[in-house]
């Protein structure tokens, strides 16, 4: 029996092995996050993410350009099921479904509730984070002018 074991983890599609101390029992090893600065923006509505480009001329895949009406990072939330229609309220956040967004992440698509934080990861990927988790996990960088004001728009 060695005093360490190998843990295989998958980070962004790349398998890496880490030497983890063997604690001799069913106890799960604990880790802390590396102190990495990330860009984050609190999302409230279509077009308010700095990289969304709503209202700008963007390249058309068929040639030419067009004016973007949908966010490039957080898109419109679209679902055909009737329980998402009209002014029905999402029970998790209290906002109507039509006020939600959709974001493509490395793990697949995710809905975005108004007030969720959109984090730009270390590889340039975007992903949503609920406000409570964001508050427990991240601190503003002192001297940074990118900290958003937490003001909720009306819908």
* pTM over the 0.75 mark: no
Whether 9 is in a domain gets the answer: no
Give the highest mean pLDDT range of 61-65, 103-107, 113-117.
Answer: 113-117
Q: Look at residue 96 and tell me if it is in a domain.
A: yes
Going by the DSSP 8-state scheme, the letter that residue 132 receives in this structure is H
What's the confidence (pLDDT) of residue 84? 76
Residue 6: partners with Cβ closer than 8 Å, 6 or more residues away? 17, 18, 19, 20
pLDDT at 7: 44
Instruction: State pLDDT tens for residues 17-33.
Output: 566 566 556 778 888 88
Share of the chain above pLDDT 90, in %: 31
Examine residue 149 and state whether it is found in any structural domain, yes or no: no
> How many domains does the chain contain in total?
1
Residue 21 placed within a domain: no
Q: Is residue 38 scored above 80 in pLDDT?
A: yes
| 103 and 112 Cβ atoms separated by less than 8 Å | yes
Position 93 in a domain: yes
Q: Looking at the predicted structure, is the pLDDT value of residue 2 above 50?
A: no
Q: What confidence category does residue 85 fall into, taking pLDDT thresholds of 50, 70 and 90?
A: confident
Torsion angles phi and psi, residue 28, rounded to 5? -80, 130
- Quick check: is 152 in a domain? no
Between 19 and 44, the higher pLDDT residue: 44
* Sequence-ordered strand ranges (E) for 31-137: 39-42, 57-59, 65-67, 74-76, 101-105, 108-112, 117-120, 126-129
Structural domain of residue 63, as residue ranges? 37-137
Per-residue pLDDT of 62-74, as tens digits, reads 999 988 888 889 9
Furthest-apart CA pair in the chain: how many Å? 65
CA 70 vs CA 28, 54, 75: distances in Å: 44, 6, 6
Q: What confidence score (pLDDT) does residue 37 get?
A: 87
| Confidence (pLDDT) at 151 | 45
């Amino acid at each position: 029996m060695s005093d360490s074991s190998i843990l295989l983890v998958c980070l962004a599609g790349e398998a890496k092995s880490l030497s983890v101390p063997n604690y001799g029992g069913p106890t799960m090893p604990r880790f802390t996050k590396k102190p990495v600065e990330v860009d984050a923006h609190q999302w409230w509505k279509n077009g308010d993410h700095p990289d969304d480009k709503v209202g700008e001329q963007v390249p058309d895949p068929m040639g030419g350009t067009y004016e973007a009406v949908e966010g490039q990072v957080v898109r419109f939330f679209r679902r055909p099921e009737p329980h998402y229609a009209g002014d029905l309220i999402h029970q998790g956040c209290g906002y109507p479904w039509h006020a939600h967004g959709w974001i493509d992440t490395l793990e697949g698509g995710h809905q975005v509730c108004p007030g969720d934080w959109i984090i730009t990861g270390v590889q340039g990927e975007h992903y949503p984070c609920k406000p409570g988790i964001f508050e427990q996990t991240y601190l503003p960088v002192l001297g940074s002018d990118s900290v958003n004001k937490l003001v909720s728009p009306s819908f």
